[in-house]
Amino acid sequence: MHTLKIFVECDPSDNVFAGFRGKNASEDTYKYFCLNLLQGIIEQVPSLETVEVDAFPGVKKDAALVTALKRKTEEAGKRLAWGPLRGWEKEGDEPGLIGLEKAMAGMGLGGVSRVVEVRA
């Protein structure tokens, strides 16, 4: 394995999860759990070269979990790449284009609102 792809669905340290983290779990419990998983993979997969991090649009690039994963990757001397969904390699925090969106943008169809009625 040369590339590890990590997809962050949510950042459990966000205040919206207060009271829902589980008994005795702090804001950092899940972050450290994820970092331990990453560390274990790094240690057991010597061929690993790149760690790609991507996330749902609700997760910010400066979220505690994302910055911790970035830091751990860099400390291990691995290449960090940003996945296509969030488009974090671009300026700002706008999401990138994936799948059908990317194909449509390439055909000049992106950004055009169309109404399609389907009857079955």
Residue 26: give its domain's CATH number: 3.40.50
Asked whether the whole model's pTM tops 0.85, one would answer no
The count of structural domains within the chain is 1
CA-closest candidate to residue 31, choices 10, 50, 49, 52: 10
Query: Distance (Å, rounded) from C-alpha 89 to C-alpha 92?
Result: 9
> pLDDT tens string for the chain (120 positions)?
899 999 998 887 777 667 676 777 777 888 889 999 999 999 999 999 999 999 988 888 889 999 999 999 999 999 999 988 877 776 655 555 555 555 555 555 545 555 555 554
Q: Is residue 109 part of a domain?
A: no
The domain of 14 spans 3-93
Q: Is residue 50 part of a domain?
A: yes
Please write the tens of the pLDDT for every residue from 14-49. 776 676 767 777 778 888 899 999 999 999 999 999
